[in-house]
Structure 1
Amino acid sequence: MKGALIILLVLMAVGVVLYIGELKYRKRERKNGEGNYIEDDDIGGDNKDDIKEGDKEEEGCCGMHLVCEKDSLSPMSGDIVYYDDEELDRFFGRSGNDYTPEEVEEFREILMTLRPEDVSGWARSVTARRLELPSDVRDELLMLVNEQRSKI
């Protein structure tokens, strides 16, 4: 019985040490600006009509989140920013495979006219508006986002 208690206490002590080490590691990574990652499926929302909020995004990460909102394509809030693309709202509820070639070109034209730093924000905006991108445009979007991130 004593042996089992000793093993249990040792395991608990190791767990506490590992937990503290993980907290210190995360704090250090946040200071270094590393450790932020996205997955290809993560595309999400930004802010609605607040241009000043978009300016905050360019300033950098605040360090208050595990994954920086600026780097993530996941929706962090339900707010939406329009990038002069309100006409895309008519595609609400359509599948990515149901677009005509002209409609695909409309999405592509908007994507290609965005400034490089606005691409990930536009992706979040499109997702927050529940618009499914055409698959070709979605692939181009992910390529542009990955290219932009590799420059950072």
Structure 2
Amino acid sequence: MEMIIGFGFLLLTFIGVFLLVKANKKDRKTENKPQEVVAPPSDCCGAHEICEFDQMKMNESVIEYYDDEELDAYKNIDEDSYTNNQIEQFREVLYTLKTEEVKYWLLSIERRHIQLPTILKSEARMLMAEA
């Protein structure tokens, strides 16, 4: 009898996990709405993303926020001085970004005089490599 109850519990657990995974995939599909395709300007060199990034790098007055205004509280804090909770705040923002946004976000926090925690630098590099 105990074996049947254990098997039933195990079966319900697998069904629950399956439904959660399926619901998560459905949520991702609705989040990834198709983006409007815009033709590049006629004077574009074909490396549009690189040119756009270079232009942003040259204009230091441009600071773009990525729903991360709370990180401004960490201005001028050394990259090795963050607490675990503060590191998790950075990590939460980092992993909500699209891979192509990571380099822009890094530039944004640099311009805001916010240092990325040391432990997250390799994670950010790995995410940028996926782009």
The TM tier, using the shorter chain, reads 0.5 to 0.7
Residue 130 to residue 69, structure 1, CA distance change in 2 (3 Å): farther
Report percent identity of matched pairs.
36
Q: Which residue of 2 aligns with 1:77?
A: 59
1:122 aligned onto 2:96: no
How many pairs were matched up?
89
| Gap runs ≥5 in structure 1 | 1-58
Residue 130 to residue 62, structure 1, CA distance change in 2 (3 Å): farther
Q: TM-score, normalised by structure 2?
A: 0.57
Contact 1:69 1:76 in 2 (8 A): no
Query: Which of the pair is proportionally richer in helix?
Result: 2
Using the TM superposition, give the Cα deviation of residue 119 of structure 1 relative to its aligned residue in structure 2, in angstroms: 1.2
| Gap runs ≥5 in structure 2 | 1-39
The 4+ residue runs of structure 1 with deviation greater than 2 A are 59-63, 68-72
Q: TM-score, normalised by structure 1?
A: 0.50
What RMSD, in angstroms, separates the aligned Cα atoms of the two structures?
3.1
Q: Which residue of 1 aligns with 2:90?
A: 107
Contact 2:99 2:130 in 1 (8 A): no
